[in-house]
């Protein structure tokens, strides 16, 4: 009962307290909501992915990939992969090679006047009316089928290569040796008589029933050369390999024309006459070229073409020697000057000339394996300026000034024969048969 009364008292007290307070303030009117306007909003860009956290490690910093603007096209290697930076044209083909060729070459002809004649004894002393046999038989002396050897070797590095080649041709000798007493033919040395307006004449070496004689005449030629090149790969075009070449070239050509005679008289007296004309050409020059190879190391047939062009200087030297020795009554006397080598043209002469060189080499190859190759080809070497021995044999002389053609009077100076420079182009070409080892 007491609890009920206490609860009622607390409720009345609370209500009275609330009534004693003022009425609450009126709230302002709430405006009616406006109609919503729907607009298309621009798409919100996607938030970028969070950057990966930086990792700091000890040691060298991580490499940063180059941007596209920094990238450099480097081309392809021979095996189809990209070459390392800085190798736009990597060397391909064998790393090393060495080979040798047998060569069979032909020279262009050299002009040589008649050096020796044999004349039927019955027609002696009838110039221009006898069927003489001459040496050389053809005034255009050529060398056909000259054997030789050519070697080559080379090595390729990553960025460039080097190679060497050299050739040597067998010395050529065209000669004759005759000796008799004038029967059935007599021996003679022909010349042109300047005192008679250039009329053909002959110095008799042997005459029937008068004196014996002998003659020896030789025409020689020797050719060799070598070159050294740096190689650089280039665009291959339709071939497997294309290499640019640049290097040094040397060519050496030596030739000579010589005649020696000896006449023996019944009294024991004798006359010996010697003429020798010798030339030497040395070409030194730089060269550039290219080398194209198809099927270089793959088993089967292939093809190679090489062209080299060079310019440089050719040192040309001409040496002319002559002498005659007369033995009379046991007294021997020798003087300078033979028959055609005498007076104004005796001595040594040299000069340097600008020259152009061209070397072409064409080969059909067959690889039995990737390491062994055989070839058959054609080769040509051209040199624009050389001196050749036959060009300096001048048959125009004055016999009245020579002691062994003027009846024994002392020799006197003569304005003929004279010396004059005479240069010609030179070509040697032919076939090659070779073998090469490579790896």
Q: What pLDDT is stored for residue 296 in this prediction?
A: 78
Whether 121 has a pLDDT exceeding 70, the answer reads yes
Query: What is the number of residues in the chain?
Result: 439
Top-tier CATH class for 96-438: mainly beta
437 vs 239, which has greater pLDDT? 437
Q: What pLDDT is recorded for position 38?
A: 42
Q: Which residues contact 322 (CB under 8 A, 6 or more apart)?
A: 274, 275, 276, 336, 337, 338, 339, 340, 341, 342, 346
Question: Which residues are CB-contacts of 166 (< 8 A; sequence separation ≥ 6)?
Answer: 150, 151, 152, 224, 225, 226, 227
Burial of 69 (0-12, 13-18, 19+ CB in 10 A): exposed
Which of left, alpha, beta for 399 (phi over 0: left; psi -120 to 50: alpha)?
alpha
Q: d(Cα 437, Cα 367) in Å, to the nearest integer?
A: 10
Q: Return the percentage of the chain with pLDDT > 90, whole number.
A: 67
Amino acid 128: pLDDT: 58
Is the CB of residue 431 less than 8 Å from the CB of residue 361? no
Q: Would you say residue 72 has pLDDT above 80?
A: no
pLDDT of 16 reads 38
β-bridge partners, 106: 429
DSSP assignment string, 32-46: PPPPP---PPPPPPP
Please tell me the predicted confidence (pLDDT) of residue 89.
63
pTM across the whole model: 0.78
- In this predicted structure, the answer to whether residue 86 has a pLDDT above a threshold of 70 is no
SS (H, E, C) 157-170: CCCCEEEEEEEEEC
- pLDDT of 379 reads 98
Query: Which is higher by pLDDT, 431 or 85?
Result: 431
pLDDT at 184: 85
pLDDT bin (cut points 50, 70, 90) of residue 88 is low
Q: What is the pLDDT of residues 169-212, one digit of tens each?
A: 999 999 999 999 888 888 999 999 999 999 999 999 999 889 99
pLDDT at 232: 94
Across the chain, mean pLDDT equals 83
Q: Which among 323, 347, 328, 349 has a CA at the least distance from the CA of 402?
A: 323
Q: Are strands 161-169 and 212-233 parallel, antiparallel or unpaired?
A: antiparallel
For the ranges 24-33, 42-51, 78-87, 286-295, the one whose mean pLDDT is highest? 286-295
Query: Measuring CA to CA, which residue among 174, 119, 99, 164 is closest to residue 141?
Result: 174
Mean pLDDT of 158-168: 95
Who has greater pLDDT, 433 or 21? Answer: 433
Instruction: Tell whether the model's pLDDT for residue 3 goes beyond 80.
Output: no
DSSP-derived secondary structure letter, 16: H
Q: What does the domain layout of the chain look like in residue ranges?
A: 96-438
pLDDT tens figures, 212-245: 999 999 999 999 999 999 999 988 777 788 999 9
DSSP state of 93: S
Q: Is the pLDDT of residue 13 over 70?
A: no
pLDDT of residue 407: 84
Q: Rounded CA gap, 232 and 160, in Å?
A: 5
């Amino acid at each position: 009962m007491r609890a009920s009364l206490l609860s009622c008292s607390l409720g009345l007290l609370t209500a009275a307290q609330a009534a004693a307070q003022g009425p609450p303030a009126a709230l302002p009117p709430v405006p009616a909501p406006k109609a919503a306007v729907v607009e298309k909003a621009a798409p919100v860009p996607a938030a970028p992915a969070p950057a990966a956290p930086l990792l700091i490690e000890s040691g060298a910093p991580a490499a940063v990939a180059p941007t596209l603007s920094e990238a450099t096209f480097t081309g392809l290697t021979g095996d189809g992969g990209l070459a390392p930076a800085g190798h736009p044209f990597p060397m391909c083909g064998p790393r090393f090679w060495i080979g040798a060729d047998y060569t069979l070459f032909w020279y262009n002809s050299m002009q040589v006047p008649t050096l020796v004649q044999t004349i039927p004894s019955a027609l002696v002393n009838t110039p221009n009316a006898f069927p003489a046999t001459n040496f050389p038989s053809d005034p255009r002396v050529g060398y056909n089928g000259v054997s030789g050897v050519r070697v080559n070797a080379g090595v390729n590095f990553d960025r460039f290569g080097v190679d060497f080649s050299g050739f040597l041709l067998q010395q050529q000798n065209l000669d004759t040796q005759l000796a008799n007493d004038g029967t059935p033919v007599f021996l003679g040395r022909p010349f042109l008589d300047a005192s008679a307006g250039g009329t053909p004449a002959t110095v008799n070496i042997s005459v029937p029933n008068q004196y014996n004689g002998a003659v020896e005449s030789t025409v020689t030629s020797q050719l060799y050369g070598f070159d050294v090149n740096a190689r650089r790969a280039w665009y291959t075009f339709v071939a497997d390999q294309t290499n640019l070449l640049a290097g040094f070239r040397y060519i050496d050509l030596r030739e000579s024309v010589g005649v020696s005679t000896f006449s023996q008289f019944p009294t024991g007296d004798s006359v010996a006459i010697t003429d020798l004309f010798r030339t030497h050409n040395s070409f030194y020059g730089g060269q550039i070229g290219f080398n194209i190879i198809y099927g270089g190391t793959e088993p089967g047939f292939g093809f190679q073409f090489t062209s080299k062009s060079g310019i440089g200087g050719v040192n040309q030297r001409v040496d002319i020697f002559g002498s005659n020795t007369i033995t009379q009554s046991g007294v021997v006397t020798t003087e300078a000057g033979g028959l055609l080598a005498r007076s104004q043209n005796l001595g040594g002469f040299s000069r340097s000339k600008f020259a152009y060189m061209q070397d072409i080499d064409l080969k059909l190859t067959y690889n039995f394996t990737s390491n062994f190759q055989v070839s058959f080809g054609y080769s040509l070497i051209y040199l624009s300026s050389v001196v050749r021995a036959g060009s300096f044999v001048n048959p125009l002389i004055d016999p009245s000034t020579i002691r062994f053609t003027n009846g024994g009077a002392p020799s006197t100076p003569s304005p003929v024969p004279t010396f004059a420079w005479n240069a010609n182009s030179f070509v040697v070409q032919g076939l090659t048969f070779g073998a090469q080892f490579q790896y």
